Structure 1
Amino acid sequence: MIDSQRRRLLQLVAASAALAAFPGLGLAAGNGFQVASPLGLPQVILARALQDERLTALIGERELRAWRDPDQLRAWIAGSEVQLTATPTNVAANLYNRGVPVVLMNVNVWGTLGMLAHSAPLGSLGDLAGHHIGVPWRGDMPDLVLRFLLAREGLEVGRDLRITYQASPFETVQTFLAQRIDAAVLPEPMRTSTRLQAVSLDLAPAELDLQAEWGRLTGTPPALPQAGMICRRELLEAHPEWIRGIQAAVSEAVAWVVANPGEAGYLGAQHSPLPAQVIEGAILRTRLEVRSAAQARAELERFLGALAGLSPGFIGGGLPDDGFYLAENQLDAG
């Protein structure tokens, strides 16, 4: 009896020591495995992935939370309130460059940006000459992608066209629907939602896919490595088998979302205020594909490097070093 109690005591001491070494995991043990995502398609992907029954046996209880903005995410990750999150790739790089111990696991969203315009034709960015464009989040990804592409097209803001910035996509949408701007740059699912609202108002907006424009103007594939998943480094070091299982679940989830946009829209509507029709439309207009961090690195560095050339603060300085990218051999242990 005494040996049994002593053995149990030693096990508790060992467990406490392990949790002290990994503070983020201590919280996970108390409240379940905390996963986060912004609203939109990354949330749909994670919601599907977390339904995988194999993760129940591997990880146990898990919870999906939605973050409102990068500041909230930064607080959650830095304070170990969440151990894994979907995030735009520039936010991931920014966190890493500011000393937050995160590792990029994969990139799975390769293009959500598009443009809606009240006047046709809109066959290329060249057709925007002389127009007034609304763009959300000055200095963020939609703005920098547009400015990069306009420069490639030979258009100069202020000389050839006018840009007005709004504080959020919601404000851009309202400005566009009120016809106070000629065109708007929007990410999915806001682009699909706005198109449907415009149709209900007897407007017929023209659309332009900015991923296609990126491919045309750079001579590279028409895809932008916009979002993926990161985890806290201590989670990877303590439980590589968890990360391996989540990687597999996310790969299967992305394949399911692409193959079943209607069902995926319904699933997404259960986790967000967006209706299923909007989420389904966004899926059909977005390039979804899972590539590991190592596989995506070359394209990600070209993309982030191009945009950081316009605004170095976009990624918090220079391109992240090797420690940012999950190496395949890091999942071999465990």
Structure 2
Amino acid sequence: MILGLGAFSALSFPNVLFAQNTLNIWGAPALISLSLAVAIKQGRARDIIPLNYKEWKTPDQLRVGFAGGDFILAASPSNVGVNLYNQGIDIKMLNILTNGLNYIFTKDKNIVSLKDLEGKKLIAPFKNDLPDIVFQALCNAHNINLNKITIQYVQTPPEATMLFVNKNEFDAVITQEPMASAMQLLAKKNGVAVYRNIDVQKLWEQTFKECPKIPQAGLIVRESFYVENKDFFEVFHKDLDNAITWILNNQDTAAKFGAKYLPTPEFGIKAAIPYANFTAKKCSDIAQNLDAFFSIIYQLNPKLLGGKMPPKSLYL
């Protein structure tokens, strides 16, 4: 039986619902939110529970949203889900929606490896959040001395990309799709040569044979809400799978659609889709890869996961 709207009556989260019991689903400022928005607007799950797309701006807003009780269902970097769980917050990891969105762009076409970044100045968003963690893990595995790379952290991906393009002092940037492709096109328009020289996903696969994919981000959900609405989530999972198929088969239309929801222009989204590594996998179905991934992070610094490895019961 689908509990749907009736399940809301038992909830006590004051700010998550609009009028008429609409569920806010919080997207991320990254390309996974394209598949999320398409699923919300075109899928069947909205016939069970009315859905509304919103977007958080920073990982800190995401953390506060769940810790304070305002968020029920949201896109999240995978490590944030583990952190929240280890803080005792009532969440589960629902799925993974991308196997990596990370790319390192350079202004020097001869910078083609992590070793080449030594002695250079790199700009990156979100210190100690997932793109930075992945970068640290790769540098550690390749014996790269991070002290030899001057890293400047900023608050948002758009800030990182704009500073990289507009300031001569930066040699490289860590960025995510769709901001990466939008930046590349903007740089070309402004006469600035930038190169997508390091595909972080390919480098990760070559480096960590036991963990070939980066389960970068997916949906996390309050366990109490999931338990009361399991049938809704089965439908929503199919909606997400169908959304990815539709996006890949209708890239022009998908880009136009996505520009309404993502902080990226249509041309940037269209260019980014081939680099999105879209997927829609239930976490319980990819538990082995998740465990391997979190083990790498834990060995790097246990605090990045909240001090403990996650139990398999975290994965839905």
TM-score (norm 2): 0.88
Q: Which runs of 5+ in 2 are unaligned?
A: none
Deviation, structure 1 residue 231: 1.6
Task: After TM superposition, give the deviation of residue 272 of structure 1 in Å.
Answer: 3.0
Gaps in structure 1 of 5+ consecutive residues = 1-14, 327-334
Residue 231 to residue 127, structure 1, CA distance change in 2 (3 Å): same
1:44 is aligned to 34
Deviation, 1:308, is 3.1
Q: Is the 8 A contact 2:104 2:199 kept in 1?
A: yes
Alignment of 1:133-148 (within 5 A): 133-148=122-137
Where does residue 158 of structure 1 map in the other structure? 147
Matched, 1:128 2:117: yes
**Which of these residues, 218, 221, 233, is aligned with residue 223 of structure 2?**
233
Paired with 2:296 and 2:108, the residues of 1 have a C-alpha distance of: 30
CA contact (8 A) 1:87 1:227 kept: yes
Change (3 A) 1:247 1:24: farther
Cα deviation 1:152-179 (Å, max 9, x = unaligned): 22321234x4333333333322332212
Matched, 1:300 2:290: yes
> How far has the Cα of 1:58 moved from its partner?
2.2
Q: Cα distance 1:313–1:78, how it changes in 2: closer, same or farther (>3 A)?
A: same
Shift of 1:110: 0.6
Q: Percent identity?
A: 27
- Residue 80 of structure 1: CA displacement? 4.4
CA RMSD of aligned residues (A): 2.6
The residue that corresponds to 2:9 in the other structure is 19
Aligned equivalent of 2:159: 171
Aligned residue in 2 for 1:11: none
Count of paired positions? 310
Task: Select the structure of larger CA radius of gyration.
Answer: 1
Partner of 1:329: none
Alignment of 1:240-251 (within 5 A): 240-251=230-241
> SS of 2:25's equivalent?
strand
Does 2:299 match 1:309?
A: yes
Cα distance in structure 1, aligned partners of 2:242 and 2:133: 32
Question: Measured at CA, do residues 164 and 185 of structure 1 come closer, stay the same or move farther in structure 2, by a change above 3 Å?
Answer: same
Equivalent residue number for residue 102 of structure 2: 113
244-253 or 26-35, larger mean C-alpha shift? 26-35
- The CA deviation string for residues 210-265 of structure 1, in whole angstroms up to 9 with x for no partner, is 11111122235653100011221112211211111111111111222233222221
Q: Secondary structure at the match of 2:74?
A: strand
State the one-letter code of the partner of 1:148.
A
Higher helix proportion: 1
Work out the CA distance in 2 between the residues paired with 1:155 and 1:141.
18
Asked if 1 retains the 8 angstrom alpha-carbon contact of 2:58 and 2:156, the reply is: no
- Conserved? CA contact 2:244–2:278, under 8 Å: yes
CA distance in 1, matches of 2:216, 2:7: 38
Question: Could you say which residue in structure 2 is the equivalent of 1:266?
Answer: 256
The SS at the match of 2:219 is strand
